[in-house]
Structure 1
Amino acid sequence: MKKEEKVIVGISIGDLNGIGPEIIIKTYEDPRVLELNTPVIFASGKTMQFFKNHFKSKINFFNIDDVNKISHGKVNVVNVWQEPVKIEFGKEDKRIGEYAIKSLEAATNALKDGAIDVLVTAPINKHNIQSDKFNFPGHTDYLARALNGKSLMFMVSDELRVGLLTDHVPLKDASNHITEDLIQEKIATVTKSLKQDFNIRRPKIAVLAINPHAGDNGVIGNEDDTILKPTLEKIKADGNLVYGPYSADSFFGSNNYESFDAVIASYHDQGLIPFKTIAFGKGVNFTAGLDKVRTSPDHGTAYEIAGKGTADESSFKQAIYTAIKIYRNRQDFNHYSKDPLKKASK
């Protein structure tokens, strides 16, 4: 694909009873967004027509049965199913979860086949998607399996980037998951992503401690002294700009994060609470570590406001922009990696 051509953005519909369809429609009602990419929504024409009518939208959908028949300049909808679907806004429904998975699987297959360039996923309900055939905590784990990669949840915004050593595991088990191999793997993934996806040639990374106050010399746990610190020293000795472990309670309040290109948190809430406090509505969930680009908004299904027409599409729109930017950055990175003299001459 030539750089001036539009990026083809595949979109999985998410939970139909949540705010996903609303924020998709609102995003592409803005003609400026459509000028930047070609959207392909994996759902059905009938279902999207229901949402168009409900939200009194003037958006026009271009319905197709084959992803290879997309039309540039239009909001394409691939018919993943044909039957009508009963929508009950704000209700958790196992049947609706099945449609979310149908959409995700179809979009992922199109991504693997190269029919779409990037994937942006609308929010799912992690409970109603579970079945004998689909048993993953969420998008990140599913995509790692489907795309044969080692994924990392990377929350990104203009102000802050946060990666996680452990993501969707119970807090009581988080420290047991943190090993030297895991730390090495996650830091390597973040480092590579900062270089190829965000065009940062010499990334500087901070790592947050596992225990309060980094364990206070073993008084509040010894995992930081026995696992995290020695591993970071090894990584740093290899020439990487990796620092820590930092006590998490003061790291963000002191604006210390502004001195780094990325922050790696030891567990989910340690990283995502400050991220969403600082960047909520402007943040994007990016799945780093894969050879394909996937982003999503930084929020969930928001059942409590579903169907009311009040959902804010800002984060979903930013997820579109971020996916496009990362895709372009990877094109440049791969191009100049093959011929570094071209980069040097710019």
Structure 2
Amino acid sequence: MQTRRHFVQTAAALSAAALAPFPALARPLEQVKILYGFPAGSAGDICARRVGDRFGGTAYSKNNGIVDTRTGAGGRIALEVLKAAPADGSVLAMTPFSCLSLYPHIYKKLSYDPFADFVAVGTASMIHHGLAVGPLVPASVKTVHDFLGWAKANPKDASYGSPAAGSTPHFIGALLGLNNQVELKHVPYRGSVPGVTDVVGGQLAAMVTPHGDFIPNHKAGKLRILATSGKQRSPFVPEVPTFAEQGFADLTVEEWFGFYAPAKTPASMVAAANAAINAAIQEKSVVDSLTVVGLIPYGGTADDMAYSQKREFERWGPLIKKVGFTAES
């Protein structure tokens, strides 16, 4: 019932945004470039492409958007390019909130100011992260409490992977260990795929990453998702309880992918882009594409996104300080 209610509320919010009139522009842009700072084929890349594909023929753009992949530096390069881009709505960047809300607490010298250099445009999808274990961990381990007990008894193998040092999954795993007095060694990877491969192969005990990257192997019985990080259970693996249900409410994290424009982009252009994003994630073909990679359509206003960015920035500051991680550590 909780999952159904979550979708009803999300659908209602999206419908209201999609039904709002498109802002009047003198004329639509010819084309929009969407910068994305992570590898092609990843969940976020698919989200950027499917949403961008629906920009064409709207009040925002005559033609479909094109994705310009600028990988490297944990997504920072794409935002550096956006900072220097024309502030006319023709260039956007899509990014997880970690690049704006977590990185200022990690990097002493960040090449962009997440609040002064960009303007929020709108969210497109939401990620639930997951904790999964593979064959290195006995089949008797079925819950997060079981995993912590096993890790305490087997310190040599008590490690977890994440898609990158300084990523949200990295800190979820670190807080799980710290808050429960269990030492969990962090193993950073370059993206989710190599870490998931090592979990399935028995070289790594566990991994925390967007749970969509676990789903095929979970359903095939090659690994076991022990928990997901959403407020409600994931609609894609409803049999898996959340961290909160298992007594770890502090690990409730719903990370979004959102679009940003350079600072000083006209408000009318931001509003037109926001309307195009919200309309795109109402389309069944887009929803289906997101579902395949474990993403939940998640729209709203630009103000909603800006508020969420600030709230997450304030939430994660003391948590990252507690973990004691910086880019130099």
Question: Larger Cα Rg: Structure 1 or Structure 2?
Answer: 1
TM-score, length of structure 1 as denominator length: 0.28
TM-score scaled by length of structure 2: 0.29
Higher relative contact order (CA 8 A, sep 6+): 2
